[in-house]
């Protein structure tokens, strides 16, 4: 007869404190200035520059984070917000191993945010590139004219109402607008050139709004590897000297806005109608109005329209 203890005392852990881990930072949605949020009625997710900046700084200063996968699923958006994210990602990459993983789309501002010098992984079918800037506004004056509505404007300077929706740009304003676009495009080219170690001329040769699949982007040098999230995660674990089963943490944490809170209180947060649920006759108008809910008429955009706002 043999007697055994079927409830042995647990062993004390070999170490205390937070274990070494990999942080996965998500840039998910249209890039905007400010905080990340969702627009439930449009089914739109917005990636805020303040939120991404704070998150990247957080993992940079967290000693338990030994490496970072920067996962990008974005068609771009505000060029200024993209630059803020690019800068913070560059600072992070000087301190810890970082690998970029592109999802189905990481174009325009999404590529801008990725081009800070870290290795870039893209799927074969990832839509990327779209290095360019556009700028414009809607002009509703013809519609108002048909409706018999007259707009009277009082202004303090000849071009004070240049961004107004109630008149077109003048020829002089179009010239100035072109200069402004060229300035922002030059900054975009500079950021990519610094990150990829290229000349401005080389970046421009694959820029000017050209769009590439992941496979083609690898051929022209815009990405380093054709591979998915698993490959990017394995690469950063190797760079950080961590085992294949090391822990990961996902950031930033999901926090809904006021509308999300109200909808959740009434139990409808998971079933919010989106543009797709609207009658067909109304859907095009919702599509057209969506950008005006997010971007101001005076905001230069690095946004690939094929995957932009609904």
Domain chopping of the chain, boundaries: 21-307
Model pLDDT for residues 161-209, shown as the tens digit of each residue: 888 888 888 899 889 888 989 999 999 999 999 999 999 999 999 999 9
Q: How far is residue 108's CA from residue 128's CA, in Å, rounded to a whole number? A: 7
Spatial CA neighbour of 75 closest among 120, 114, 119? 114
Which range is least confidently modeled, 38-42, 47-51, 74-78, 115-119? 38-42
pLDDT value, residue 309: 41
Q: What are phi and psi of 290, to 5 degrees?
A: -55, -50
Q: What is the mean pLDDT of residues 11-29?
A: 81
Per-residue pLDDT of 236-285, as tens digits, reads: 999 999 999 999 999 997 655 454 555 455 454 444 445 555 566 656 65
Higher pLDDT pick, 109 / 289: 109
- Integer CA distances (angstroms), 174 to 164, 179, 183, 271, 303, in order: 14, 9, 14, 44, 20
pLDDT band (50, 70, 90) for residue 125? very high
Q: CA-to-CA distance for 266 and 288, rounded, in angstroms?
A: 29
User: What is the structure's pLDDT at 60?
Assistant: 97
**What residues act catalytically?**
108
pLDDT at site 38: 81
Closest C-alpha among 119, 133, 262 to residue 189: 133
Spatial distance between the Cα atoms of 94 and 91, rounded to a whole number of angstroms: 5
| CATH of the domain spanning 21-307 | 3.90.226.10
Least reliable range by pLDDT among 72-76, 106-110, 122-126, 135-139: 135-139
Give the pLDDT confidence score for residue 269 in this predicted structure. Answer: 45
The answer to whether 242 touches 50, Cβ cutoff 8 Å, is no
The pLDDT value recorded for residue 159 is 83
What pTM value is reported for the model? 0.81
Alpha-carbon gap, residue 214 to 126, rounded angstroms: 5
DSSP 8-state class, residue 288:
H
Residue pair 84/53 in contact (Cβ under 8 Å)? The answer is yes
pLDDT of residue 17 exceeding 70, the answer is no
CB burial class (10 A; 0-12, 13-18, 19+) of residue 75? buried
Does an H or E element contain 61, and which? helix 49-61
pLDDT of amino acid 5? 62
Q: Where are the beta strands (DSSP E) in the chain?
A: 21-28, 30-32, 37-39, 44-48, 65-74, 76-78, 98-107, 120-122, 127-129, 211-213, 225-226, 247-251, 301-303
The residue behind tokens 């905001």 is 299
């Amino acid at each position: 007869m043999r007697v055994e203890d079927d409830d042995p005392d647990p062993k004390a852990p070999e170490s205390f404190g937070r274990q070494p881990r990999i942080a996965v930072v998500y840039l998910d949605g249209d890039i905007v200035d400010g905080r990340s949020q969702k627009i439930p009625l449009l089914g739109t997710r917005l990636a805020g520059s303040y939120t991404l900046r704070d998150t990247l700084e957080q993992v940079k200063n967290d000693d338990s984070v030994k490496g970072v996968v920067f996962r990008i699923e974005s068609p771009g958006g505000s060029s200024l917000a993209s630059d803020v994210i690019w800068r913070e990602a560059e600072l992070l990459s000087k301190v810890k191993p970082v690998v970029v993983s592109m999802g189905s789309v990481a174009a325009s501002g999404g590529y801008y945010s990725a081009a800070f010098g870290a290795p870039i992984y893209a799927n074969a079918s990832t839509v990327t590139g779209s290095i360019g800037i556009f700028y414009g506004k809607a002009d509703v004056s013809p519609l108002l004219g048909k409706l018999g509505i007259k707009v009277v404007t009082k202004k303090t300077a000849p071009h004070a109402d240049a961004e107004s929706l109630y008149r077109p740009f003048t020829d002089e304003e179009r010239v100035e607008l072109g200069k402004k676009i060229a300035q922002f495009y030059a900054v975009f080219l500079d950021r990519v050139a610094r990150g990829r170690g290229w000349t401005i001329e080389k970046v421009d040769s694959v820029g000017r709004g050209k769009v590439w699949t992941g496979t083609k982007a690898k051929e022209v040098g815009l990405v380093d590897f054709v591979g998915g999230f698993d490959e990017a995660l394995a690469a950063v674990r190797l760079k950080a000297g961590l085992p294949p089963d090391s822990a990961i943490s996902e950031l930033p944490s999901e926090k809904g806005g006021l509308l999300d809170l109200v909808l959740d209180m009434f139990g409808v947060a998971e079933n919010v109608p989106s543009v797709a649920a609207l009658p067909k006759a109304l859907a095009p108008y919702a599509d057209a109005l969506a950008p005006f809910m997010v971007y101001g008429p005076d905001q230069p955009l690095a946004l690939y329209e094929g995957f932009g706002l609904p």
